[in-house]
Structure 1
């Protein structure tokens, strides 16, 4: 997500993240396209069946009208009735497609809820050994060359220790935190 972009940058994982996003995006596009091709083949065959059936009704109507067995109106009515049968069939198929899409969406939603439930269960897990402390020695930073925001900063934070950065606005608290997080380079 966009919110995680800074974390990806901080750990220098841009190339790996780009590769994973590209691969997963390609897989999603390929899957979507195979689904679209399947639907297009199905509806294409359905339309061919409709047109072949209508052609058969029209041919039969022509032959019956030619032999005087039925009137032109009767043959036309038969063709129109046959043609009107496909509107409810197509409507039912579209509704079925919508129902399947809704079912898939619900399954994704239930999956997200299940993931959050599993994460909640893991809250009672034993803590994992965290990263080592933070040590900065002689760190300086300038957003604009020649105008340092931080100059020769030394800081040591031991593992498990909490530190509050206090100072006036513009003193460099956020800049220091971003340097520690790896979002800025000294």
Structure 2
């Protein structure tokens, strides 16, 4: 049985290794994605006449694509990239879950509370995007862009044999085995 304290301490452990540089870079990429998301959302609603939820989904998909490039090739470029298929699959899965969170908040505000004005729609979108961003940050760094395992010990260097012949007189270094 897991207690609330057990869950919160697990979250604290996950966030313990977060550096301020990582948070700042995540914020820069995320802010770029937010700008792209809002611009695409505005274009979808005002330029193409899409309904609010459809516009949100289209805008979020555009932002997801651009964010992946920023995360993979800038923020998490030093992380394990040996399995891109797995990485992209998980990225899309967690991004989709974040999109559902964002769209869900927007749907509840629009259809549950009847918020229809532009200001109310953008406020709900901002709230949903904020909640989705926290979810994405934790899931991306934990499951998608995994850290490379650190070596417990430096590698053991092999013993270099003495070469017979004219170079035999030259002293060759010997490395001890551990």
Q: Which has the higher contact order (CA 8 A, sep 6+)?
A: 2
Relative to the length of structure 1, the TM-score reads 0.33
Find the structure with the greater CA-based Rg.
1
TM-score (norm. length: structure 2): 0.34
Greater fraction strand: 1
